[in-house]
């Protein structure tokens, strides 16, 4: 219950869903929490101070400590204000959970530039802005932890989510770079790929029996199941864990693979387009990754 005692944690997008449960769990573990949420719709539009305020009230009623912030992560200046809220209220920051997100799903060839940019701004740019805003604190105090939310839409693939998938895979690269660049300052950075029924997942189309079956499986996966791993990764007990990608699916925790050489071919005289066609590709073809979606890989019922 005291794993995060006296730690200050910012949880973005924590007015509802996965973020809310992470904020509640952080507070229950003893953390002082900045509950950040601008109260936008699933598409990123609108504004409502209510969700963040309600979570803060819930934490305080349970005996915890929290303050609300309703700035967006999608702009550098507003990300700085989120960090300032933590410093003004609690003096410092020990951990950031980059959970904020929106969806603008569309088949790639129909996706607008605005739909692309809106998702990249919140997920990828927002994760960078938050990490960059707090980096000086972590560096000067020689400690800190980041948890970034990725997705199997990027790690594996999915239909109609080019913007979301690109952002989520970009977050993996960002997290690894932070882990490498800041390890000398005892700063850790890890990713969680969550499987859970949330407000964003509820926007996924369910027009076909296959989609309906997929969503039915996801509806039994509770958002609260993601929180324990996030709390652990932000705690001092995870001091040896950095640069990793985890997935949480109900009661299952997975350590996800990272890109490494799978197979190689060599030709002492070098390659031509013709010899690649005749030799290289046939030699590697058996090891090609099939064109599948997340649901094709995680195709069993959650445990």
**Helical ranges in the chain per DSSP H:** 17-28, 50-61, 76-90, 113-120, 126-141, 152-155, 162-182, 209-219, 227-234, 273-275, 281-284, 294-297
Q: Is 185 designated active site?
A: no
The single residue of 164, 185, 232, 289 carrying the catalytic annotation is 164
Crossing angle, helix 113-120 and helix 162-182, to 10 degrees? 30
Can you spell out the DSSP letters for 237-277?
A: GGTT--S-EEEEETTEEEEPP----------TT---HHHII
Helix, strand or coil, per DSSP, at residue 145:
strand
Active site residues: 164
């Amino acid at each position: 219950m005291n794993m995060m005692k006296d730690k200050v944690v910012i949880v973005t997008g924590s007015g509802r869903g996965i973020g809310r449960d992470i904020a509640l769990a952080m507070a229950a573990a003893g953390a002082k929490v900045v509950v950040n949420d601008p109260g936008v719709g699933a598409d990123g539009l609108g504004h409502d101070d209510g969700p963040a305020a309600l979570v803060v009230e819930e934490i305080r009623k349970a005996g915890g400590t929290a303050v609300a912030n309703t700035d967006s992560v999608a702009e550098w200046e507003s990300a700085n204000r989120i960090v300032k809220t933590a410093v003004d209220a609690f003096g410092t920051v020990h951990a950031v959970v980059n959970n904020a997100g929106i969806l603008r799903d569309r088949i790639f060839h129909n996706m607008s530039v605005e739909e692309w940019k809106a998702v990249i701004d919140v997920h990828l740019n927002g994760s960078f802005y938050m990490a960059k805003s707090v980096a000086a604190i972590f560096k000067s105090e020689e400690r800190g932890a980041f948890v970034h939310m990725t997705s199997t839409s990027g790690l594996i693939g999915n239909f109609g989510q080019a913007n979301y998938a690109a952002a989520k895979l970009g977050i993996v690269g960002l997290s690894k770079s932070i882990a490498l660049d800041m390890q000398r300052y005892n700063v850790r950075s890890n990713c969680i790929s969550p499987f859970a029924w949330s407000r964003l997942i509820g926007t996924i189309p369910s027009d076909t029996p296959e989609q309906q079956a997929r969503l039915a499986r996801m509806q039994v996966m509770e958002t609260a199941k993601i929180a324990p791993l996030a709390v652990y990764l932000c705690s001092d007990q995870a001091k040896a864990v950095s640069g990793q990608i985890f997935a949480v699916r109900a009661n299952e925790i997975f350590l996800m693979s990272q890109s490494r050489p799978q197979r190689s071919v060599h030709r002492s005289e070098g390659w031509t387009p013709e010899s690649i066609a005749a030799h290289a590709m046939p030699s590697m073809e058996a090891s090609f990754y099939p064109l599948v979606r997340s649901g094709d890989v995680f195709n069993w019922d959650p445990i």
